[in-house]
A and B are shown apart, each in its own frame.
Chain A
Amino acid sequence: MKLKLAKKNFIPFLQSLMDEYDLFAPVRLAEGASAYKKIDQPEEVDLSIRNPQKPAKEIFFPQSEIMFRYEKAGKENRITSTEEVKRNRVLLGARPCDIQAFALIDQVFAGKDYTDVYYLNKRKATTVIGMGCDGPLSTCFCSSLNGGPFQREGSDLFLTDLGESYLVELLTEKGMAFQKNKFFEKPTDKELAFAKAIEEKSAVKVKVSVPVDGIEKRLDEMVESPYWVRVQEKCLGCRVCTYLCPTCHCFDIVDEALTKKGRRVRNWDSCLSSLYSQETSGHNPRPTNRERTRQRLMHKFNYFPKNFDRIACVGCGRCIIYCPAHFDIRQTIKEIQKGGDT
């Protein structure tokens, strides 16, 4: 079903969402920095942001999350889990690349043996309103990884910016629940055609440019290659790429304690940290940046595909834009495909 939301109704529309749901949307934190946040004032929402630094996975997998609280009473412990999601949620304005990434992380956190209830409860409670990219960047390569600037997979509703209004497509059962929203109108044929034109223009911009076919097999042959020493020379191990990557899912679990009570918290972590694999004995299986960079690249393009048949990259380009040493993963992929020839 295709409906339309006039931009002059945007703020009251947001308010109508906030009356029923916890709303998460992109917010500008400073001139050049943004993230997805829980919205307190509808005016905070800024859908003109190309792609916030922090990926949308934060909504389901927060950077820092309490898992349970405990309280000591004598020799006993009382535990209260925080896994429950009290109110249903709407995620507004996520781009198709970030939404693709949800499907990848779902594979890790769902799993047949153990379910990560913290993540899954939030996933189940959230309606995803995706937004098409009418201005993809030259660093975007989603089309090379089964994605695209207007890919609708994973969205319950999907927005296209038409200038004066948004085209709103209701795609799933969850999405159809919004059809009665009083701010939605019927779009004209002209508007529908305009939306189609925007979509076609964007698709051309993000042509398939990064050769990922067969990269898993290539990497099988390169485990001990000298390439890993060369490729990481300029890498500072600064971890920006892992913290901004929509598909990275590594985390640390720690206890934060006061005397009698405290909580168990999980925080994002990065395989590029020097102490990531450090064992209490002092032994570190990944002692230098060579092993750690190899781990990162092989996890994305070899280990994850072995387990889940998908490459753990959605081509959002954040790692290319924000790396202080200007590491370009598209170049790395091409070099790997040539067997490590730089």
Chain B
Amino acid sequence: MPPLRSGVVLLRRARSLAALVGILLLAIAISPTASDGSRIFLQAGNLTDILRQVSLIGIISLAMTFVILTGGIDLSVGSILALSTALVAMFLTRGYTTHIAVAILAAVAAAALAGALNGVVIARTGIQPFIVTLASMIGVRGLAKWLTNNQNIDIGFGRDLAAGFAAVFREKAIVIGAYAAAAALFWVVLARSVFGRHVRAVGDNEKAAAYAGLPIRATKIWVYTLSGLFTGLAGVLYAAENHQGNPNAGVAYELDAIAAVVIGGTRLSGGQGSISGTIVGTLIMGVLTNMLRLNNVDSNVEMMIKAVIIVLAVAVQRERSGN
């Protein structure tokens, strides 16, 4: 990379990274101490807790990065997550199948289908993604509630199939591992694949992408499908972690995911952004939450502080890049 370009990129990444380091240092500094004098924040258990807590939003925000890179947005992820938790719990507890894999596959496939529907409508009709996914945010939530009669489907602690599923998929290692694997996948696809190049090109200049003969519709359909698919995976992990299929799960998750993406330096209008930035953005939010909770800050105050952090993080990155 030429000095100027890499300089700008580095500065940008460094700024969101610097924000993360700053918050980490602050978290360490104000961390309450355990009886042996060590800082609770730095305990291995706490640090892995943070990773586990951010994993679900983290997975969703990876796919959201692709959506936003094309110049779109996906507001339906919270509802799709709820649909996925409901379906996996139904399959596990109602005897539809005897295989955990089938239940997971069904939930993820339904979620991917919902995403694909978003993509097809957006690509075919040209209606703004905000409106299309706002509609499916409402519709898919309705579907999840209708399927479950608006009841939570509990996954027990006994010895049945569902309990076995929950025991495995709520393991910290599995959850964090899933996030890490998804992050690696999205990073490679964006940096190295033809599809990743198309995603950025479409978001950078859709008209020029058309003149270059790029498959614009297919690219859009795929990013929303991936968004649905990975949100479905996050829903499976959610069901295991919370021991239930919950049609009311995931409310406002779309906003957390979008926040992570923009804190990570991705332009909301598309064409520019990175997976590494999104990961940093996700971690900033996670560490902040953990820090405030360790210090017993009221959760309402926590939201107010987060609001300030989001605006600050984006303002700081805009200042230098000039767009």
User: Are A and B part of the same complex?
Assistant: no
B-side interface residues toward A, CB under 8 Å?
none
Q: What residues make up the interface of A, taking CB atoms closer than 8 Å to B?
A: none
